[in-house]
Copies of this chain bind each other. A is one copy, B any other.
Amino acid sequence: LERCPDAEVRVMVINTGGTIGMTYQNNVLSPEPNALVKALRRFHILHDEPYAQQTCLYDCYGPPDNTLVLPLSKKDKRVVYTVLEYSPLLDSCNMTMDDWAMIGKDIEKHYEKYDGFVVLHGTDTMAYTASALSFMLEHLGKPVILTGSQVPIYEMRSDGRDNLLGALLIAGQFVIPEVCLYFHHKLYRGNRVTKVDSGSFNAFSSPNLPPLANAEVDVRINWDMVWWANTTSKFQVQTLMNRNVGLLRLFPGITTQTVRAFLQPPMEGIVLETYGSGNAPSNLADLLEEFSKATERGVIMVNCTQCLRGSVITRYATGKALSDAGLVPGCDMTPEAALSKLSYVLAKEKLSTQEKRKMLSENLRGEITHLDETRYCLRNN
């Protein structure tokens, strides 16, 4: 075995925490620090120690306690990967915007040295973090792939090994310059996914956009769908995000009082999860007035549907009332994408409110489909 540097690609794995690295303690799953690399080294499909030894790999890329290498891939590549573990490990329920910024900064810091990035993350808010990073990472030119698992990687039956392996192979070998989420053999655009199942390995869905890739018997990339940023600007990370944003889901009987309480300062942006194609009660004059007043004082509200699939349109009388009250139509954005986009756009302090509203309705990272730009010819028939 000789080293063949041309065949080596490098991936950085940022282990933020999550089920993938948890162990049972008193019958409850908890994060286990400094255990993941040791566990990975025990699986020869996840680490080829003989190759590392014989090629003096550690001299070149770093010490064995964070450097690993996959067996030779079918494309005759060696994916060398370095694990950066956060301390403390984070439960994804507890993730904040500061954590998103930390991930962004770490990617920025190591951007030049690696061919791609894998972010290990709990599944609960993975769709939020993937959405947020898709906006924060501006002019991204390399793959950033979030993954994790429903069952710890230490268990006999676990989806963690397949998820990590698939993410590593794609991040190292395919130039897909997007923030993606890889789960259960599918690669999704990160700002298009939502967690739909808490008990299945097939936990995520991208309801309004097909997967970017499938990795079953073969890896099939749907290149037509990959998002190519149309600038040649330099990669940079906007770590500043506006915290004064929230998500409000309508329900029958919601009162003006509740809405008012939700909209009160310091709130600056709201994703309103409405019914069906973007509808809200039209008979509550008070409610609509709250929305109008909030718009007037500069609060930006985005109208997204509660439905898993579908888009906000204005075919119904009740829907029109909301756009009249100043809500930005969210089209087919997920609430996760809309919330993080709002946080990202509101943090751009040089922009006027009008410019921010415009930016929110534009397609920044492939997160939104305007019905007229779609490949489908849409007609009422």
Given A282-B91, A311-B199: A157 and B30 within 8 A (CB)? no
Does B221 lie within 8 Å of A200, measured CB to CB? no
Q: Are B381 and A310 neighbours in the complex by a CB distance under 8 Å?
A: no
Question: For the complex, is A245 an interface residue (Cβ under 8 Å from B)?
Answer: yes
A253 in the interface, Cβ–Cβ < 8 Å?
yes
CB of A228 within 8 Å of the partner chain: no
Assess whether A166 is interfacial by the CB under 8 Å rule: yes
Mask of A209-222 contacts with B, CB within 8 angstroms, 1/0: 00000011111111
Q: Find residues 144-169 in chain A having any chain B CB closer than 8 Å to their own CB.
A: 150-151, 156-157, 162, 165-166, 169
* Inter-chain contact B93/A275, CB cutoff 8 Å: yes
Contact yes or no, A93 B282, CB < 8 A: yes
Q: Contacts A198-B307, A217-B201, A320-B28: A246 and B258 contacting too (C-beta < 8 A)?
A: yes
A128 touches B251 (CB 8 A): yes
Task: Please measure, in the bound complex, the distance between the C-alpha atom of A162 and the C-alpha atom of B158, giving whole angstroms.
Answer: 8
Contact B261 A253 (CB under 8 A): no
A123 within 8 A of B: yes
Expressed in whole angstroms, the Cα–Cα distance for A223 and B378 within the complex equals 11
The verdict on A36 contacting chain B, using a C-beta distance below 8 Å, is no
A246, closest chain B residue (CB): B258
Instruction: State the Cβ distance, A110 to closest chain B Cβ, in Å.
Output: 24
Contact residue among B29, B97, B251, B261 (Cβ-Cβ distance under 8 Å from A315): B29
A315 partner residues in chain B, CB cutoff 8 A: 27-29
A64 proximal to B (CB < 8 A): no
- Which listed segment binds B: A38-46, A55-63, A354-362? A38-46
Q: CB-CB contacts of A98-124 with B at 8 A, as 1s and 0s?
A: 000000000000000000000000011
Identical chains in the assembly: 4
Contact B316 A123 (CB under 8 A): no
Task: Name the contact of A93 in the complex, choosing from B151, B166, B279 (C-beta under 8 A).
Answer: B279
What per-residue 1/0 map shows which CB atoms of A241-268 lie under 8 Å from chain B? 0010111110111100010011010010
A335–B306 CA distance with the chains assembled, in angstroms = 12
Is A305 among interface residues, defined by CB-CB distance under 8 A? yes
By the criterion CB–CB under 8 Å, are A201 and B216 in contact? yes
Interface segment among A71-79, A294-302, A344-352: the answer is A71-79
> What is the bound-complex CA distance between A200 and B307, given in angstroms?
11
- Give the one of A73, A310, A339, A378 with max B CB within 10 A: A310
Q: For A219, give its contact among B173, B258, B379 (CB under 8 Å).
A: B379
